Structure 1
Amino acid sequence: AAGGGLAWQILASAEGPVTTPPELPAPLVRAVQARQESVRFDVLSHGTVTPRTESSLVPQVPGRVEWVSPSFVAGGFFEQGQALLRLDKRDHELAVVAAQADVAQAEMTLALEQSECDVAREEWEAREQGEAGDLVLRVPQLARAQAGLAAAEAALERARLDLGRTTISAPYAGRVRQRSVDRGAYVQPGQRLAVLYAVDQAEIRLPVPDSELAFLDLPLAYRGEAPPDGHLPVTVRAVFAGRGWSWQGRVVRTEGEIDPTNRMLHLVVAVDDPYGSGGEPGRPPLAVGMFVECVLHGRKLPEAIVLPSAALRKDDYVFVVQGGRLQRREVQLLRRERERVVLSGGVQPGELVCTSILEVALDGMTVRLDDQLP
């Protein structure tokens, strides 16, 4: 019996005293105050600058190019009505002289025929034989002479037009994109001499997902008519020579249909005076072919809850910190952006919303709040 008691004492002393595990502290979390503010939704897109007006320069008369303007080079600027090329006009000057001679001949023929008519009428009236017929009074011959004069005058006007067309002028203020002929070339009517584009306005075609259209409040049939609050403003941004620049534009129309392959609708943005006549010195132009980033400034929401994007979990709930515990709240998400989320409900202004990433986060779990709120 004594040996058994000794064995029990040895075993008891080997196990040591019974201890309880220490209680782990509640996790430390960071939280932000939900704030209510007016929000304007911006939609980001990218596109390439194109001219609003582009056309081919073609002659209306044949001839050899005898002069070209110094502006008639790729990239050259020109004003509306400025002469760009001149064709050899000697053939057309001779055509004008010939047409003038035809007019003089037709005028003489008409004068003679008018005299013949007057004589025929006087002779008939002297006979006192009643009403004379048109053939007797030479009415058809007079009408033919009048028609001949009208045709000769029209031919003269056409010859003068062709002579004027030997000077080929710019249809608008713009720039030369491509030149196809030079001095000495013989050109025919309809032959392309150059490709020109206007510089009064540039356009940018922007793809926008159909999911973003609700934030722009534009109908599919929008054709540029100003809505009650004005055109949809757009900020166009680009980097040139290592420096960022911006231009102001507006949406002028939509293409009216959604691409079924990528669910994109294309909007067209217009920027006036892209080459900046009268702008600040050193400012680059919004040149054709430039790839740009466009911020479309969409609808305004007067009251919305704004939180950091880290606060939203699985796009439908957040954890509100109340009394040292997490409280799960279902929210109504309006839009998720890169650094923030915009909610329409589920959280009240001023409430603390957890932004920390926890391995385990349960409704009602005890937490400690970091005193240094962001």
Structure 2
Amino acid sequence: ARAQLHQAEAAFRLAREQYRNSLFVAPFRATIAAIYFDSGEFVPAGQPVFLLVSPHGFKADVPIPETYWKDVQIGQTVLATFPDLPGKQYVGTVLWKETAIDPISRTFRARVVLKQTDSKLRAGMFGLFRIAVKTVTNMPVVPDNAISSRTEIVIDPQTGQSRYLQKHYVFVVEGGRARRKPVTIALESDTRVAIGTGLQAGDSLIVVGQKLVKDGQPVRVVE
């Protein structure tokens, strides 16, 4: 009888331990956004069972072109908008950024934490995040579709190594003819481009049909 009592106590302790291991406790106040396994299913070790979402803040890993790595700083303000939530804008900050560049996409990730959220914002939504990395003044700003680009291969005469160089240009009207002007880009936004060099205030920029004209071709300006 004593042996049976010990066996029963051992079985009880094992059952109690298994019960405790079957409980899931969130490390923070959260809402279950997704469940990956049904009741009774076998869960392999290390596999996530739930997706938890905190109602007090959202994080997003934002891919950013490598050229802005030095400009993005921890603590910078971020403005976020979401196509599914028109008219609403959320404010966040940069929490951290990767120190390595992805060799395929040529981007790095910056983690953004939104300070303000509401019940309409959902995990997994597509968003547009804006970080003011540079301010320019007294520069011509033109529509992005006015810029044409071409890639050239440049060979170093000393080493013989080749590299790709992207050049930008626009078409302006001078003396009734289209003239191609090389330009440099100082800053880009969604639909606008700030021109660093190549354009002057008062230049007549061709913004319609610029992909069809050639350098020196006669053109007629239509007001």
Q: TM-score range by the shorter chain?
A: 0.5 to 0.7
Q: Unmatched 5+ residue regions in structure 2?
A: 1-15, 40-47, 150-166
CA contact (8 A) 1:203 1:271 kept: yes
CA contact (8 A) 2:142 2:192 kept: yes
C-alpha displacement of 1:245: 4.4
Q: CA deviation at 1:344?
A: 0.6
Q: CA deviation at 1:203?
A: 0.7
Q: CA deviation at 1:64?
A: 9.9
Q: Which of 253, 260, 275 is the aligned partner of 2:96?
A: 253
Change (3 A) 1:236 1:318: closer
In the alignment, structure 1 residue 362 sits paired with structure 2 residue 215: yes
AA aligned to 1:254 is K
Q: Using the aligned pairs only, state the percent identity.
A: 21
Aligned pairs for 1:252-291 within 5 A? 252-274=95-117, 276=118, 284-288=119-123, 290-291=124-125
Please list the CA deviations of residues 79-130 of structure 1 after superposition, one character each: whole Å capped at 9, or x if unmatched.
xxxxxxxx9xxxxxxxxxxxxxxxxxxxxxxxxxxxxxxxxxxxxxxxxxxx
Equivalent residue pairs, number: 177
Q: Which runs of 4+ in 1 moved over 6 A?
A: 192-195
Give the distance between the partners of 1:303 and 1:346, measured in 2 at CA.
14
Gaps in structure 1 of 5+ consecutive residues: 1-61, 66-86, 88-167, 183-191, 277-283
Over 3 Å counting, the alpha-carbon distance change for 1:328 and 1:63 in structure 2 is: closer
Q: Which has the higher contact order (CA 8 A, sep 6+)?
A: 1
Say which SS state the counterpart of residue 285 (structure 1) adopts.
coil
- Given that 1:332 and 1:343 are in contact with CA atoms closer than 8 Å, whether structure 2 keeps it comes out as yes
Q: Does the 8 A contact of 1:238 with 1:245 survive in 2?
A: no
Deviation at 1:296, TM superposition (A): 1.8
Q: 1:362 and 1:179 mapped to 2: Cα distance?
A: 61
SS in 1 for 2:138: strand
Structure 1 residues 301 and 287: CA distance shift in structure 2, 3 A: same
Which deviations, in whole Å up to 9, do the C-alpha atoms of 1:214-239 show, x marking residues without a partner?
Answer: 6x812xxx5x3x4xxxx232313141
Partner residue of 2:65?
Answer: 209
- Cα distance in 2 for partners of 1:195, 1:318 equals 50
Aligned counterpart in structure 1 of residue 79 of structure 2, from 228, 234, 254? 234
Cα deviation, residue 254, structure 1: 0.9
User: Aligned runs of 1:299-314 on 2, under 5 Å?
Assistant: 299-314=134-149
More helix by share: 1
How has the CA–CA distance of structure 1 residues 353 and 251 changed in structure 2, closer, same or farther, with 3 Å as cutoff? same
Contact 1:199 1:273 in 2 (8 A): no
| TM-score normalised by structure 2 residue count | 0.60
**Could you say which residue in structure 1 is the equivalent of 2:194?**
342
Contact in 1 for aligned 2:77/2:91 (Cα 8 Å): no
Deviations 1:295-330 (A, max 9, x none): 223222123211233433445333332333334422
Change over 3 Å in CA distance of 1:174–1:317 after alignment to 2: closer
Identify if the C-alpha distance between structure 1 residues 326 and 270 changes in structure 2 by more than 3 Å, giving closer, same or farther. Answer: same
Q: How does 1:114-193 map to 2 (within 5 A)?
A: 172-176=28-32
What is the deviation of 1:202?
A: 1.7
- Could you tell me how far apart the structure 1 residues matched to 2:27 and 2:214 are? 70
Aligned to 2:172: 320
Q: Does 1:199 align with 2:55?
A: yes
Cα gap change, 1:329/1:263 in structure 2, threshold over 3 Å: closer, same or farther?
closer
Q: Distance in 2 between matches of 1:238 and 1:272?
A: 19
Q: What corresponds to 1:351 in structure 2?
A: 203
SS in 1 for 2:136: strand
Q: Are 2:95 and 2:111, in contact at CA under 8 Å, matched by a contact in 1?
A: yes
- 1:330 pairs with 2:186: no
> Could you say what secondary structure the match of 1:201 adopts?
coil
Root mean square deviation, CA, Å: 3.9
Do the aligned residues in 1 keep the contact of 2:93 with 2:115 (CA within 8 Å)?
Answer: no
